A = this chain, B = another copy of it.
Amino acid sequence: MTTPYKRLDKAQAAVLLVDHQTGLLSLVRDIDPDKFKNNVLAMADLAKYFELPTILTTSFEDGPNGPLVPELKEAFPDAPYIARPGQINAWDNEDFVKAVKATGRKQLIIAGVVTEVCVAFPALAAIEAGYDVFVVTDASGTFNEITRHSAWDRMSSAGAQLMTWFGLACELHRDWRNDIEGLGTLFSNHIPDYRNLINSHTKFTS
Contact = CB atoms under 8 A, between A and B. Distances in A.
B156 A157 contact: yes
Contact of A22 (B3, B147, B156, B196): B196
Interface in A64-92: 64-67, 69-70, 85-89, 92
A167 B197 contact: no
B67 A200 contact: yes
Nearest to A127: B5
A158 B4 contact: yes
Interface stretch (A9-17, A29-37, A45-53): A29-37
A67 B158 contact: no
A170 B159 CA distance: 22
Given A64-B197, A86-B175, A124-B7, A34 B192 contact: yes
Given A31-B146, A36-B192, A197-B65, A116 B152 contact: no
A128 B158 CA distance: 19
Nearest to A177: B86
Q: Say whether chain A's binding surface is mostly helix, strand, loop, or mixed.
A: helix
Q: How large is the interface on A (under 10, 10 to 19, 20 to 34, 35 or more residues)?
A: 35 or more
A86 B183 CA distance: 12
A119 to B, nearest CB: 11
B29 A38 contact: no
Nearest to A140: B146
Contacts of A5: 124-125, 127-128, 158
Interface string A143-158: 1101101111110111
A186 interface: no
A125 B6 CA distance: 10
A167 B116 contact: yes
Contacts of A101: none
A2 B2 CA distance: 8
Contacts of A200: 22-23, 64, 66-67, 197, 200-201, 204
For the complex of A and B, 4 pairs with smallest distance between CB atoms: A86-B177, A64-B197, A204-B204, A2-B159
